[in-house]
Amino acid sequence: MIDLAVDLHTTLWTVNEAADAAGVTPNVVHNWRYRGRLQVAERDRQGRPLFRAIDVIRAEKATREKARRSYSAIAA
């Protein structure tokens, strides 16, 4: 479990840590990145992406809000 009692603006998470914190799979985190919802903040020594914790939280929130939208059918 990821400790959310940290400075979310400076803490960097790996893909797996970000997925754990957001309650999604690592593949979803990769999808957020490819769709432009999540930017890589830095890279670790092996070149793997690291994400700011606050950005992960925002991407997760935006995804959940979008999923709640409903569109009414236009009557003809």
We report the CATH number of the domain holding residue 24 as 1.10.1660.10
DSSP 5-32: SS-TTT-EE-HHHHHHHHTS-HHHHHHH
Whether 29 is in a domain gets the answer yes
DSSP 30-42: HHHHHTTSS---E
Which residues, 6 or more positions from 73, have their beta carbon under 8 angstroms from its beta carbon?
none
Q: Please name the amino acid found at residue 13.
A: W
Total domains in the fold of the chain: 1
Whether 25 is in a domain gets the answer yes
Whether 20 is in a domain gets the answer yes
Whether 72 is in a domain gets the answer no
Element holding 52 (H helix, E strand): strand 49-52
Tell me: the pLDDT tens digits for 55-73?
A: 999 999 998 888 776 665 5
Residues spanned by the domain of 62 = 12-67
Token look-up 């400076």 returns 10
Amino acid 12: pLDDT: 95
Amino acid 64: pLDDT: 86
Whether 4 is in a domain gets the answer no
Q: pTM for the whole thing?
A: 0.77
Low-confidence ranges of the chain (pLDDT < 50): none
Amino acid 27: pLDDT: 97
